[in-house]
Amino acid sequence: MISSNIKMMMKDQGITIRDLMGRTGLSNETILRARSEKIRLCRLETLATIAAALGVRTKDLYEEE
């Protein structure tokens, strides 16, 4: 299973879902899905977009368990 670090990174940087929506152009639903504790389905392109907006590498957004 893959665990998301996005929620923690957003909190550490003081970024809200609305902020991330503005930076990425992604929908609220997409961001919520990517932030969920266990990522089930998320396109690499979406993760790359979120990583760029947070200023991190794509692989920093998740951990494999």
pLDDT digits (tens, 9 = 90+) for 25-42: 999 999 998 998 767 778
Rounded alpha-carbon distances, angstroms, from residue 21 to 2, 44, 57, 63, 65: 23, 17, 18, 23, 28
> DSSP 3-state assignment of 39?
strand
User: Tens of pLDDT along 10-30?
Assistant: 999 999 999 999 999 999 999
Which pLDDT score, from 0 to 100, does residue 53 have? Answer: 97
Ranking 26-35, 39-48, 55-64 by mean pLDDT, the lowest is 39-48
